[in-house]
Amino acid sequence: MYATTYHKASSLDDAVAKLGGAEDGKFLSGGQTLLATMKQRLAAPTDLVDLTKIPELKGITLDGDTVTVGAASTHYEVHSSDAVKSAIPALAALAGLIGDPAVRNMGTMGGSVANNDPAADYPAALVGLNATVHTNKRALSADDFFTGMFETALEEDEVIVKISFPAPEKAGYEKFRNPASRYAMCGVMAVKLKDGSVRVAVTGAGSDGVFRVPEMEQALAANWSPDAVASITVSPDDMIGDLHGSPEYRAHLVTVMAKRAVAAAG
């Protein structure tokens, strides 16, 4: 690991100023991805600006039908939040499936979302639940936020402050885990929103990261049941192929996990 200078930001403005004053700085949240990347010498920021003590990035609230999660909330805090459990139980369950206890106690929703690992769980939750990402500059729909594998619409000095989710009528998430890392080889979030619209978001499988399956959404809008998606397949052409599974295997998992996610949603 190369030498780096650690800064603790006390406010959003302080974080942006500290990053602006650094030669090649990076924001730091739980460090579960960034520090590992630095240890492997794949990244060597001159400065790390810790966001986790900024008050605006903390806390989880339920206001009417909207759950708002501060970006510095850990996966454990999301998993154990009464607000999340009561309004979006599928999101609480999803957070409990991330990694292991050490990862869940350190890793944050903001860090995971900013990183946009193609096998991460939260991208499917944000897109499936039609969430909004609030930064220090703007509000972005999840559909617009995730732009490709490890890529987002975030600018260099843009901080994710919080993520807001409309409470759905029904939602279910099922993932087929990589048995070693527990990342998703395929994870599907199936959601019926309170306005009647249906969203199906897939993570872990697509070579461009999270994606929606319009055919499944249409079928579920007409008939919310696992059978409605049982014969709908996705093309392996855009799927990830690696030592853990071929594109064809992942394409097959999309249908299997979608059926299970709809069943889990009830």
Q: How far is the CB of 36 from ligand FAD (least distance, A)?
A: 6
Q: How far is the CB of 154 from ligand FAD (least distance, A)?
A: 6
Give residue 178's identity as a one-letter amino acid code: N
Stretch of residues binding ligand FAD (CB under 6 A), selected from 25-33, 125-133, 192-200, 248-256: 25-33
H-run or E-run covering 128: helix 122-128
Q: Which of 110, 168, 172, 209 binds ligand FAD (CB under 6 A)?
A: 110
> Does residue 19 belong to the site contacting ligand FAD (CB under 6 A)?
no
Residue closer to ligand FAD, measured from CB, 145 or 198: 145
Q: How far is the CB of 35 from ligand FAD (least distance, A)?
A: 6
Q: Which of 9, 27, 134, 165 binds ligand FAD (CB under 6 A)?
A: 27
Q: What is the CA radius of gyration of the chain?
A: 18
Q: Which residues pair with 69 in a beta bridge?
A: 60, 163
Handedness of CA 107, 108, 112, 115 (dihedral sign): negative
DSSP state of 13: H
- Dihedral angle, C-alpha 134, 136, 140, 146, nearest 10 °: -100
CA 58/CA 42 separation, integer angstroms? 29
> Does residue 247 belong to the site contacting ligand FAD (CB under 6 A)?
no
If binding means CB under 6 A, how many residues of this protein chain bind ligand FAD?
32
Residue closer to ligand FAD, measured from CB, 175 or 260: 175
Residue closer to ligand FAD, measured from CB, 40 or 223: 40
CA 188/CA 115 separation, integer angstroms? 19
Residue closer to ligand FAD, measured from CB, 85 or 177: 177
> Does residue 26 belong to the site contacting ligand FAD (CB under 6 A)?
yes
In the 3-class helix/strand/coil scheme, how is 229-259 assigned residue by residue? Answer: HCCCCCCHHHECCECCECHHHHHHHHHHHHH
* Sequence-ordered strand ranges (E) for 143-256: 146-148, 151-152, 160-166, 170-177, 184-192, 198-203, 211-212
Residue listed under structure tokens 């609480």: 92
> Does residue 152 belong to the site contacting ligand FAD (CB under 6 A)?
no
> Does residue 31 belong to the site contacting ligand FAD (CB under 6 A)?
yes
| Token pair of 95 as six digits | 């957070």
> Does residue 47 belong to the site contacting ligand FAD (CB under 6 A)?
no
> Does residue 51 belong to the site contacting ligand FAD (CB under 6 A)?
yes
* Contacting positions for ligand FAD (CB under 6 A): 26-34, 36, 51, 71, 98-99, 103, 107-108, 110-112, 114-115, 117, 120-122, 154, 159-160, 181-183
